[in-house]
Amino acid sequence: VPNSDVATRSTEERKADALAKLTAVNANVWVGSALPSGAVHLVPVSHTWNGTEVVVATGPGSPTVANITANPKVRLVLGETRDVVMIDAVLVSGVPALMPRRHRPMGLSPSPGWDPPTDDGDYVYLVPGPERIEVWREAEDLAGRTVMRSGSWMV
Amino acid sequence: VPNSDVATRSTEERKADALAKLTAVNANVWVGSALPSGAVHLVPVSHTWNGTEVVVATGPGSPTVANITANPKVRLVLGETRDVVMIDAVLVSGVPALMPRRHRPMGLSPSPGWDPPTDDGDYVYLVPGPERIEVWREAEDLAGRTVMRSGSWMV
pLDDT digits (tens, 9 = 90+) for A100-147: 444 444 344 444 455 555 444 567 788 899 999 999 998 778 889 999
Strands B146-149 and B128-136, sheet pairing = antiparallel
Q: Residue B111's pLDDT band (boundaries 50, 70, 90)?
A: very low
Question: Which chain A residues have a beta carbon less than 8 Å from that of B86?
Answer: 42-43
Strands B40-49 and B97-100, sheet pairing = unpaired
Tens digits of per-residue pLDDT, B43-98?
Answer: 999 888 888 999 888 887 889 988 988 899 999 999 999 899 999 999 987 444 44
| Closest of B42, B40, B44, B30 to residue B77, by C-alpha | B30
Q: Measure CB to CB from residue A34 to each of B27, B34, B139 and give the nearest one.
A: B34
3-state secondary structure of A42: strand
pLDDT for A110: 45
How much is the average pLDDT of B106-126?
A: 54
Residue B30: Cβ-neighbour burial (10 angstroms; 0-12, 13-18, 19+) = buried
- Which residue, among A42, A75, A132, would best test binding to B if mutated, counting the most B CBs under 10 Å from its CB? A42
What pairs with residue A73 in β-bridges? A90
Taking the CA atoms of A51, B78, A45 and B74 in sequence, report the sign of the dihedral they define.
negative
Tens digits of per-residue pLDDT, B21-44?
Answer: 999 887 889 999 998 777 899 999
Q: Does B153 touch chain A (CB under 8 A)?
A: no
Is residue B71 within 8 Å of residue B38, measured between CB atoms? no
Q: Residue B108's pLDDT band (boundaries 50, 70, 90)?
A: very low
Min CA distance, B107 vs chain A (Å)?
Answer: 27
3-state secondary structure of A88: strand
pLDDT for B154: 96
Say how far apart CA B6 and CA B28 lie, in whole Å. 29
3-state secondary structure of A13: helix
Q: Residue A148's pLDDT band (boundaries 50, 70, 90)?
A: very high
CB contact (8 A) between residue B38 and residue A41 = no
Is residue B33 within 8 Å of residue A68, measured between CB atoms? no
Is residue B144 within 8 Å of residue B89, measured between CB atoms? no
CB contact (8 A) between residue B44 and residue A74 = no
How many Cβ pairs within 8 Å bridge chains A and B?
Answer: 77
Measured in degrees and rounded to the nearest 5, phi and psi for residue B34 equal -150, 145
Q: Count the alpha carbons within 13 Å of A123 in the hemisphere toward its beta carbon.
A: 21
Q: Give the burial string for A69-84 (b: 16+ CB within 10 Å, else e).
A: eebbbbbbbbbebeeb
Q: Measure CB to CB from residue A38 to each of B29, B71, B81 and give the nearest one.
A: B71
Say how far apart CA A113 and CA B138 lie, in whole Å. 19
Question: Which chain A residues have a beta carbon less than 8 Å from that of B139?
Answer: 117, 119
Q: Residue A6's pLDDT band (boundaries 50, 70, 90)?
A: low
pLDDT for B116: 55
A79's torsion region: left (phi>0), alpha (psi -120 to 50) or beta?
A: left
3-state secondary structure of A136: strand
* DSSP codes joined into one string, B12-37: HHHHHHHHHHHH-TT-EEEEEEE-TT
